[in-house]
Amino acid sequence: QKEVEQDPGPLSVPEGAIVSLNCTYSNSAFQYFMWYRQYSRKGPELLMYTYSSGNKEDGRFTAQVDKSSKYISLFIRDSQPSDSATYLCAMIRGEADSWGKLQFGAGTQVVVTP
Amino acid sequence: DTGVSQDPRHKITKRGQNVTFRCDPISEHNRLYWYRQTLGQGPEFLTYFQNEAQLEKSRLLSDRFSAERPKGSFSTLEIQRTEQGDSAMYLCASSLRLGTTNEQFFGPGTRLTVL
């Protein structure tokens, strides 16, 4: 079983809809949670960075972390065709010897249709 | 452009050849990471440096792989005796370790094809 599980999609939504993405994880040591956006054949781009449980909002993006359920979410409001990409969740354990290792999900492909 | 840069962007090689990739991190960042990504998967951690010290290596990094970061600036990743299974996107990321933050910023990647 992978430490981080993410539905690969594809997830197709009409323009203007809310995109809802999520990941589950098995290791309770994860403390820092990130969402990256990756366009085809490009490097991942950091969207959101959160620590521990709670919500964080940045423009059209909202990230939620529920450590009790080992579940994180990303919501994209008023989706645009330019949001079509693969969205990767990633997380890091907090111990000093694990600071470097980002653990990624497989990524969810999102398609926003005009 | 002040982001992470990687060179080359694409590399095609024959099985058994050696290849070397370069990564230039964001200038003030003290941490540098290498990841490998295959089609349909998220990036997998390979190794990371703090300044010039290599602090952690994944078991994915076989003895054919070696990474260096001389003087704590740019880094190189060398693959010796390439195999077809080495075909992947090799991603470099950098971060500035300050307190509890560790936001990693990625470069565009080097896409390796081994024939």
CB A83 within 8 Å of CB A75: no
Would you state the pLDDT for residue A62? 97
Q: Is the pLDDT of residue A114 over 90?
A: yes
Q: What pLDDT sits at residue A32? A: 87
Cα B88 to Cα B59: distance, rounded to the nearest angstrom: 17
pLDDT grade for A97, boundaries at 50, 70 and 90? low
Answer whether A51 touches B (CB < 8 Å): yes
Closest Cβ–Cβ partner in B43, B55, B103 for A49: B103
Cβ count near B83 (within 10 Å): 12
Q: Which amino acid is at B48?
A: Y
User: Alpha carbon B115 to chain centroid distance?
Assistant: 21
pLDDT of residue B99: 61
With 70 as the cut, is the pLDDT of residue B100 above it? no
> What pLDDT shows up at residue A104?
96
Distance CA(B62)–CA(A102), nearest Å, equals 19
A95: contact with B, CB 8 A cutoff:
no
> Which residue from A52, A50, A54 is spatially nearest to A36, judged by alpha carbons?
A50
Q: How confident is the model at residue B104 (pLDDT cuts 50, 70, 90)?
A: confident
3-state secondary structure of B114: strand
Average pLDDT across chain B, whole number: 92
How is residue B31 written in tokens? 């941490």
* Residues B2, A53: Cα–Cα separation, whole Å: 32
Q: What is the predicted pLDDT for the residue at B98?
A: 66
Q: What is the pLDDT of residues B79-88, one digit of tens each?
A: 999 999 999 9
- Are residues B43 and A46, on separate chains, in Cβ contact within 8 Å? no
Q: Would you call B43 and A102 a contact, using CB atoms and an 8 Å cutoff?
A: yes
